[in-house]
Amino acid sequence: MADISNTGVNFVPTEPRPAPASIRPGPMTWMKERLFNTWYNTLFTLVAIYVLATSVPSLIDWFFTSALWSDAPADACDAVTGACWAFVYEKWRFILFGTYPFEQQWRPGGAVIIFLGMVIISCFKPMWNKSLLVIWPVGLIICWILLAGGIFGLDSVPNNLWGGLPITLMLAVIGCGLAFPVSIALALGRRSKMPIIKAFCVGYIELIRGVPLITVLFMASVMFPLFMPEGITIDKLLRAQVAIIMFAAAYLAEVVRGGLQAIPKGQYEAADAMGLSYWQAMTFIILPQALKITIPPQVNTFIGMFKDTSLVLIVGIFDLMFTMRVAINDLEWRAFYIEGMVFVAILYFLFCFSMSKYSQWLEHELHRGHKR
């Protein structure tokens, strides 16, 4: 056998040699591998650099350099080539809080801050216990008192004056919050062995998921009044809220069903073997696991609902999108609709993007927990 070169009795590992410069990780190798590795990638890179070089400076110029960043009347913007952020100075309170009495707007502002505080607290895993069941009702009641007033010396403000961000947040969070228990019932019903209950749940879920949100909102705004006995009217905002709950419940139910299906059969069998009843098995064994693994898709559904609440403007609810529309239709400021839309787009983006990053992080986190 040729060329058998055994190392001596004691193996002394050869010192690792640094990789030659040509393949060593470094900016040059990185560029060679990530930007210029093939002829077409070189072409793409050059095109991308050209596009960036032509578009980014002019965008920055519009947004920052040439923009008017101070409070100024609308005609001051005529001389400006960049964005007129004076529009946002002028209108931000209206866009955020709508027609809520101007000097009272600290109230919806406070409500939004409390609300967001509760959402942020709920994002931390150590907080996932019974304390949330106390924090949320109490917080929501405080928000409601702040918005509606009528006690503690706060002036009463009817809800047709509410508008903007509080409405958007309320529709989305209360919508998904109240839809959640309904969705669990629907998901369990859909997996039930009882044919009528199953048919009812399947029918409801498929009906709602098959039609656009607008038709459900129309139903709530034009058909609901017909359903009620003579003389009973239900508030417009409440009707939209009910429509969103009904809509979200169907989508969340499918998410929950996915979670129930992902639980291994052995868990159901173990629960049965321990002699637990159906409801005991669900409450103590199946649902806690199923709901936990579905939190990331639930957050994603919530993001979808948060964006979709903007549709309520079509049935005349004064949400964030509606107040923006009204603000940019102000004759004096009409030319600055782009600024108005960019402002609201940034608000929506910040909410949705941070939630989707949270959902990705959580998915990773829960997955890691599973492996351990």
Q: Which of residues 31-90 bind other proteins (CB under 8 A)?
A: 33-35, 37, 41, 44-45, 48-49, 52
User: Distances in Å between the alpha carbon of 187 and those of 88, 181, 204, 256, 363?
Assistant: 45, 10, 11, 6, 22
Q: Which of 134, 151, 226, 331 binds other proteins (CB under 8 A)?
A: 226
Site for other proteins in 258-287 (CB under 8 A): none
Alpha-carbon separation of residue 13 from 3, 19, 83 (angstroms): 20, 17, 65
**Site residue total, other proteins (CB under 8 A):** 75
The first and second tokens of residue 193, run together, are 């062995």
Look-up of token digits 């139910």: 253
Q: Which span sits near other proteins by CB under 8 A: 103-111, 119-127, 152-160, 220-228?
A: 220-228
C-alpha 314/C-alpha 217 separation (Å) is 9
Task: Please give the Cα distance from 254 to 16 (Å, whole number).
Answer: 55
Its sign, for the CA torsion 22, 23, 24, 26, is positive
Q: Does the footprint of other proteins cover residue 2 (CB under 8 A)?
A: yes
Long-range pairs for 193-202: beta carbons < 8 A, 24 or more residues apart: 201/253
Among positions 6-25, residues that touch other proteins (CB under 8 A) are 6-11, 13-14, 16-20, 23-25
For other proteins, the closer CB: 93 or 307: 307
Measured from the CB atom, the residue of 146 and 240 that comes closer to other proteins is 240
Instruction: Report if residue 27 touches other proteins, rule: CB under 8 A.
Output: no
User: Stretches 88-96, 131-139, 157-165, 190-198: which one binds other proteins (CB under 8 A)?
Assistant: 190-198
Instruction: Choose the stretch contacting other proteins; rule: CB under 8 A; options: 100-108, 282-290, 291-299, 350-358.
Output: 350-358
Map the footprint of other proteins across residues 192-211, applying CB under 8 A.
Answer: 193-197, 200, 206-207, 209-211
Strand, coil or helix: what is 222?
helix
